[in-house]
């Protein structure tokens, strides 16, 4: 029995992988759950353009009618964008069920890592990674993204952990699991909407080539798990910490009052923050995704050269 019976690999992606050319994985939850239509579709297509411009091939992951899509078409992205929140938000636990039931699924960071690893893709660009939620000492609400980083050999390039989380506990969890947290040209963990959080990263690396070499050596040493590369949002697009933190606190308070939990909490918080900030957070979100795509593509290009 082969994975191929469940998987559709986009011909462009398949050819790049066969030839040892750089490929960058992309998630689809950001399309269905992260932004409204049509910004979600437009952002997803622009991210793919940016990756191609840097010399790599994009591979947007999703599940459509039970098929694992390794590289969505423009039509697939339009479909996910329009269907929006009606698409199942898919983490590791959901994957076999949705495939067996032939349903649609938008991949989270964790599931995108799984599909990328299945296909042999080693670099993945996203917005922000999940983590330990505020109040997790009583709720035990910890994103599956962190456990996936501990297990699955994929580099994740992000703008840090979402600032709706407990950043200190998120870093502690990653340390326990042995996941290297790299700051790109910074020693401080970015906080998604802002470039600074007050928390330090494990290592600062200043070029895509340095990042690629660190991940290459990790693979050569046969060490399991991935690597988290945190890339600060460009200064021109970061938000005032006081404004965004006030919006986050209000959104978290409303989520608690309304009993929002589990996989619904992040989409709820991001939507409320967007509303509270009058759309400013959405623009910041889009720009940081573009920034991460550029770094991921450059890193994938450097990694492909090392692996030849």
Handedness of CA 22, 47, 293, 267 (dihedral sign): negative
Q: Is the pLDDT of residue 266 over 60?
A: yes
DSSP for 57-99?
EEEEEEEETTEEEES--HHHHHHHHHHGGGSEEE-GGGHHHHH
Q: What is the pLDDT of residue 119?
A: 96
Which residue is catalytic, options 41, 69, 89, 162?
162
Q: Is the pLDDT of residue 99 over 90?
A: yes
| Residue 121 · residue 25 · CB < 8 Å | yes
The helix/strand/coil state of 255 is helix
Tens of pLDDT, residue by residue over 173-207, are 999 999 999 999 999 999 998 999 999 999 999 99
- Bridge partners (DSSP) of residue 9 are 70
φ/ψ (deg, to 5) at 220: -60, -30
Q: Is 27 left (phi over 0), alpha (psi -120 to 50) or beta?
A: beta
- Bridge partners (DSSP) of residue 7 are 68
Residue 51's contacts (CB-CB under 8 Å, 6 or more residues apart) are 24, 26, 57, 58, 125, 293, 296, 297
Residue 152: which pLDDT band, with cuts at 50, 70 and 90? Answer: very high
Q: What is the pLDDT of residue 242?
A: 87
Average pLDDT, stretch 124-132? 94
Q: Is the pLDDT of residue 1 over 70?
A: no
Residue 14's contacts (CB-CB under 8 Å, 6 or more residues apart) are none
CATH label of the domain that carries residue 248: 3.40.1790.10
- Bridge partners (DSSP) of residue 204 are 183
27 annotated active-site? yes
Q: Is the pLDDT of residue 132 over 70?
A: yes
Q: Write down the mean pLDDT value for the chain.
A: 93
Domains held by the chain: number: 1
Q: Is the pLDDT of residue 118 over 70?
A: yes
Tens of pLDDT, residue by residue over 221-237, are 999 999 999 999 999 99
| Better pLDDT: 269 or 146 | 146
C-alpha separations of 156 from 138, 170, 172, 179, 293 in Å: 28, 15, 18, 11, 11
| Nearest alpha-carbon partner for 109 in 161, 71, 69 | 161
Residue 216's contacts (CB-CB under 8 Å, 6 or more residues apart) are 303, 306, 307
249 annotated active-site? no
The helix/strand/coil state of 21 is coil
Segments forming the whole domain that contains residue 31: 3-307
Only one residue has tokens 């579709």, namely 41
Q: Name the token pair of 247.
A: 């919006």
Which residue is catalytic, options 27, 48, 78, 148?
27
Among the ranges given (31-40, 96-105, 176-185, 298-307), the one the predictor scored with the smallest mean pLDDT = 31-40
């Amino acid at each position: 029995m082969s994975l191929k019976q469940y998987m559709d690999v986009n011909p462009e992606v398949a050819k790049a992988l066969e030839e040892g050319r750089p490929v960058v994985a992309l998630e689809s939850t950001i399309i269905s759950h992260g932004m409204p239509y049509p910004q979600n579709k437009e952002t997803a297509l622009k991210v793919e353009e940016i990756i191609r411009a840097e010399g790599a091939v994009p591979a947007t992951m999703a599940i459509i009618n039970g098929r694992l899509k390794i590289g969505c078409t423009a039509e697939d992205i339009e479909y996910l964008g329009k269907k929006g929140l009606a698409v199942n938000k898919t983490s590791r636990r959901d994957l076999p069920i949705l495939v067996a039931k032939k349903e649609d699924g938008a991949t989270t960071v964790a599931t995108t890592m799984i599909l990328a690893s299945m296909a042999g893709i080693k670099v993945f660009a996203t917005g922000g990674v999940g983590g330990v939620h505020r109040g997790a000492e009583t709720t035990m609400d910890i994103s599956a993204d962190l456990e996936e980083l501990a297990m699955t050999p994929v580099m994740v390039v992000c703008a840090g952990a979402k600032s709706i989380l407990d950043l200190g506990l998120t870093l502690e969890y990653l340390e326990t699991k042995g996941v290297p947290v790299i700051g790109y040209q910074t020693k401080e963990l970015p906080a998604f909407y802002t470039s600074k959080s007050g928390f330090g990263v494990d290592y600062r690396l200043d070029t895509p080539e340095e990042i690629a070499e660190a991940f290459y050596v990790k693979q050569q040493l046969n060490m399991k798990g991935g690597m988290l590369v945190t890339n600060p949002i460009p200064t021109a697009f970061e938000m005032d910490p006081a404004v965004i933190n006030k919006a986050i606190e209000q959104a978290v308070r409303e989520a608690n009052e309304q009993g929002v939990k589990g996989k619904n909490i992040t989409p709820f918080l991001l939507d409320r923050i967007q509303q509270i900030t009058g759309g400013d957070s959405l623009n910041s979100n889009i720009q940081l995704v573009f920034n991460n795509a550029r770094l991921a593509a450059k890193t994938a290009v450097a990694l492909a050269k090392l692996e030849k």
